[in-house]
Amino acid sequence: MAEKAQKTVLIADDESHILNVVSLKLKNAGFRVICARDGNEALEMALAEKPDLLITDYHMPGLNGLEVASRLRQSETGRDIPAILLSARGYNLNEADVRESGIRMQISKPFSPRNLLGLVNEALGIAA
């Protein structure tokens, strides 16, 4: 039986804890995980590595999560990469902005790693 190709997930967040937790969770679930600590790094890595999925925080140094997702969508290489936004509750994000950036899913912090894994599988069309 052919091994399903390992999917790559790019996580962008300036908080180490988030990166640690999400990395470990996804790695344990069989994904390859790459991390970025700010918006600019995230965009660079996304364009370079072409991950299967982008999970990004909203509030970050450099470009924020929406900007990263927007630019990715406008690029040649990155336009098909689905994105999940980690939003902090209390930040009022304009619904229109979110849709325009191509982000299809959101999960608000504090989030449960279990739920995030569920969303990741859903975004990648993988049966749980």
- Contact residues for another protein (CB under 8 A)? 14-15, 17-18, 21, 24-25, 28, 61, 88-90, 109-114
**Of 38 and 47, which has the nearer Cβ to another protein?**
38
**Of 61 and 99, which has the nearer Cβ to another protein?**
61
CB of residue 21 vs another protein: minimum separation in angstroms?
A: 5
Task: Report phi then psi at 50, rounded to 5.
Answer: 50, 65
CB of residue 78 vs another protein: minimum separation in angstroms?
A: 27
- Decide: residue 86, CB within 10 A, 0-12 exposed, 13-18 middle, 19+ buried: buried
CB of residue 26 vs another protein: minimum separation in angstroms?
A: 10
Residue 25 three-state SS: helix
CA distance 119 to 107: 9
- Decide: residue 56, CB within 10 A, 0-12 exposed, 13-18 middle, 19+ buried: buried
**Of 4 and 114, which has the nearer Cβ to another protein?**
114
CB of residue 62 vs another protein: minimum separation in angstroms?
A: 10
